[in-house]
Amino acid sequence: MNAIQIHNTGGPEVLQLAELPIPVPGPGQVLIRVEAIGVNFIEIYFRKGQYKATMPLVPGSEAAGTVEDLGSGVTGFKPGDLVASVGVLGSYAEYALVPAAQLVKVPDGLTPEQAAAAMLQGMTAHYLAHSTYPLKAGDTALVHAGAGGVGLLLTQMAAKIGARVITTVSTKEKAELSREAGAAETILYGEQDFTAEVKRMTGGKGVDVVYDSVGKTTFENSLNCLRPRGLLALFGGSSGPVPPFDLIQLSSKGSLFITRPTLWHYVATRQELEGRAGDVLNAVKSGELKLRMEHVYPLSDAGRAQADMEGRKTTGKILLEP
């Protein structure tokens, strides 16, 4: 089978196409024929060495495809089922092994592309809006990278709840996409001071919650955007890791809260995984949650796909197809 393999950490050029044997499922595993692969920042962190992994590595953490074979002890799935998974390394390939416990069935009527586009980013938006800081009608949220995959989905979910959403984006075109998703206001962070704009838009009060996937370049000012006892959910670091931080600043800025959540702790049980995935996939099926999937690359162009994501040349979800 064709697969992308990394032998050493580095830039996009280390993502090399390789010919590997089709794996055989062991106990509790399912072999899927991959039909669509989600591209996410976590794969960039692995490629750069920010997250540690044994080399050589087949990257990838999100895929949708058809069940090809079952290992011993697997129940609830059969060959031919359309399924999707997140959190399992090895999806940048034509076939992948997935523990049955981390696999969900895709509802009838959805394509593999829709499933791969919705799972990781959709469930991330879901836990942020419903669990990390459970939004309610009348809350005000600041969402960084508002035209990105998580940003667009999180904005839709927050707006449906009745929250007021302010987003930061890099271009006027992305601002328009963000408003279409439900943002009440957008801020062009390259032209405007987003802290000053947030304070102006909230009458000096600040927002209830900041959802920040950017990290290093936004962290301090994200805290400055919060109302007293507000919460910063730092769920990514696309600009780099946050430098060491003196916690006394949380007191001086208004007894603030901060959390560094990750999806895996919000789908830690089978019940939680099925619940979040079901909510997200069924919302896509009903049309309540709209996906953007304009950027589809062949598997062999994985390096370009990651480079375009890092360079903020894309909006919505980036997909690879074997």
- Compute the distance between CA of residue 242 and CA of residue 106 in angstroms, rounded to an integer: 37
Question: Would you state the pLDDT for residue 240?
Answer: 87
Query: What's the fold here for domain 2-110+292-321?
Result: Quinone Oxidoreductase; Chain A, domain 1 (3.90.180)
Enter the DSSP assignment of 23.
Answer: P
Question: Would you state the pLDDT for residue 268?
Answer: 94
Asked if residues 305 and 297 have their Cβ atoms less than 8 Å apart, the reply is yes
Question: Would you state the pLDDT for residue 185?
Answer: 98
Question: Would you state the pLDDT for residue 294?
Answer: 83
Question: Would you state the pLDDT for residue 316?
Answer: 80
pLDDT tens digits, the chain, 322 residues: what are they?
999 999 999 999 999 999 999 999 999 999 999 999 999 988 998 999 988 899 999 999 999 999 999 999 999 999 999 999 998 889 999 999 999 999 999 999 999 999 999 999 999 999 999 999 999 999 999 999 999 999 999 999 999 999 999 999 999 999 999 999 999 999 999 999 999 999 999 999 999 999 999 999 999 999 999 999 999 999 998 888 899 999 999 999 999 999 999 999 999 999 999 999 999 999 999 999 999 998 999 999 999 999 999 888 888 899 999 9
Question: Would you state the pLDDT for residue 198?
Answer: 98
Question: Would you state the pLDDT for residue 31?
Answer: 98
Which residue, 117, 114, 115, is CA-closest to 103?
115
Question: Would you state the pLDDT for residue 41?
Answer: 87
Question: Would you state the pLDDT for residue 162?
Answer: 98
In the numeric block, the tokens 């730092």 are attached to: 234
In Å, what is the CA distance from 111 to each residue of 108, 137, 241, 246? 8, 32, 35, 47
What backbone phi and psi angles, to 5 degrees, belong to 132?
-60, -50
Q: How far is CA 171 from the centre of its chain?
A: 21
Structural tokens at position 72 = 């011993």
Question: Would you state the pLDDT for residue 154?
Answer: 98
Q: Give domain limits for the chain.
A: 2-110+292-321, 121-263
Question: Would you state the pLDDT for residue 50?
Answer: 86
Structural tokens at position 144 = 């960084």
CATH architecture of the region 121-263: 3-Layer(aba) Sandwich (3.40)
Question: Would you state the pLDDT for residue 314?
Answer: 84
Written as one letter, the residue type at 228 is P
Which residue, 121, 320, 119, 153, is CA-closest to 236?
121
In the numeric block, the tokens 């991330």 are attached to: 124
3-state secondary structure of 45: helix
Hey, what long-range contacts does 294-302 have (CB within 8 A, 24 or more apart)? 295/319, 296/113, 296/320, 296/321, 297/39, 297/321, 299/2, 299/3, 299/4, 299/17, 299/37, 299/92, 299/93, 299/94, 300/2, 300/17, 302/4, 302/12, 302/15, 302/39, 302/59, 302/92
Question: Would you state the pLDDT for residue 51?
Answer: 86
